Amino acid sequence: MSPSEDPPSAPVRRTGRERKTVNDILNRFLEEDFASLGTTTKKNYRTVLPAIQAHFGTRIAADLSVRDFDDFMKDTSTPAMRDKAVALMSSVFTRAVRKWHWLNSNVCREVKRISITETSRVPEESEIQALRRIARPAVRIAMDLALLTGRTQMELLKLRWADVHADRLEFTGARSKKRVTVPMNPTLRGVLDEAKSHARGSEFVISTRNRRRKSVGGGYTSDGFRAVWQRTMRRYEKQGGQRFDFHDLREKAIHGSTSDVPPDVRYALAATGESLDVEHKDWLDLSDPLVRATVARHICALANYGGGFIVFGRTNEGLASTLTPSDLSGYDLDTFSSICKKYLAPAIQCSVYAPLPTANSDRAVVVKVPSHGSVPVCAIAR
């Protein structure tokens, strides 16, 4: 070989972790975690698994980039299926990052969804009232409870009269499975009185009812209520209304009509409990060096996970903290930038959001942590 010729490139060597295909990750998920999922979740996952395996199955998971999802997401004739497929891959890849250590990051978090990102919105009060006027009692009661409590659809459907007390409602957190308390107020009591008259002896607050026999009703399943909601929404669209989803009511309960809050930040605000990408923190003294170092470690972990959120002013169950400082000026961008600059290498730039509270929400500050760059973020001592 002459000096002017380039030497042959050496073959790229991969470690065992880097050689894992998408099918390898899916198979481990099916073996270890699939059995513990709920019935509806299993059904949804079985529907989208073939599409994932056909399109990505033999690909090396660590080599996937956002661009590799472009062709997969182009088929907008089945947007819900495509979104569910990416959601499943994201859930499985999260396990591969945090639990199995097969991946360094979760690329699915950066993929733009079709139906969720483009149709999810906060409805106006006039739209809500228009839908209420044509809805059957169970749907109307569910809507009112969602707006007044900020709880999820499944939590509302599972609510029993045994959970209703003179001074509070008690829910079981959808994610944390812990008991979550919502204080009683006159408006909420009025909705419950209407629900009581509709229930006719049912143990469930939101109950079905046999119109012919007027018998005691049971509780709705998730699929059953979703079917009723979709029929109601179709009637609403025929009258000229614009579609919105039931979970949009919860977002409205939490942040009202704030339009400058991105959808992913609204998702963090709506979280009922902590998850791999959402952490809840009570109000802290961010001038304390020990507290600042602790916050830096949480930012570091989220960045290396692939990004996430820290919500200040929330308990672990997602409830508002009991004491909110009168001055939140210390929870600004400069504060978190200085924390990252002092305690992290390389320093990363977070975003900070402080949505104004509404009648049904409390004050919170959301710190959005981006994914790490070409190298992982490390915590350093100064």
Quick one: pLDDT at residue 324? 75
CA distance 182 to 351: 30
Token pair 């990051």 in the structure block, residue: 105
Beta bridge partners of 180: 171
Correct CATH for 259-379 of 3.40.80.10, 3.30.565.10, 3.60.15.10, 3.30.950.30: 3.30.950.30
Quick one: pLDDT at residue 341? 92
Stretch (H or E) spanning 311: strand 308-312
CA distance 134 to 321: 37
CA distance 335 to 329: 9
**207 contacts 198 by C-beta, under 8 angstroms:** yes
**90 contacts 109 by C-beta, under 8 angstroms:** yes
Residues 6+ apart with CB under 8 A from 298: 279, 281, 310
Is the CATH number 1.10.150 carried by domain 22-116? yes
Domains 22-116 and 125-252 alike in fold = no
Backbone angles phi, psi at 41, to 5 degrees: -65, -45
CATH topology (fold) of 125-252: hpI Integrase; Chain A (1.10.443)
For residue 141, give the amino acid letter.
I
**What residue ranges do the domains of the chain occupy?**
22-116, 125-252, 259-379
Quick one: pLDDT at residue 293? 93
Quick one: pLDDT at residue 356? 57
Cα–Cα separations (whole angstroms), residue 134 to 231, 237, 350, 369: 11, 11, 44, 42
3-state class (DSSP) for residue 49: helix
Whether a cis peptide bond, with omega within 30° of 0, leads into 346 is yes
Per-residue pLDDT of the chain (382 residues; tens, 9 = 90+): 444 444 444 444 444 455 899 999 999 999 998 888 777 778 888 888 999 999 999 999 999 999 999 888 887 567 778 888 888 898 899 889 888 999 988 999 888 876 544 445 678 888 999 999 999 999 999 999 998 888 889 999 999 999 999 888 888 766 666 777 777 888 888 899 999 988 778 899 999 865 554 555 688 988 889 999 999 999 999 999 988 889 888 777 765 544 456 767 777 777 767 777 889 999 999 999 999 999 999 999 998 888 889 999 888 767 777 777 777 888 988 899 999 999 999 889 899 887 655 444 567 889 999 888 777 888 886 6
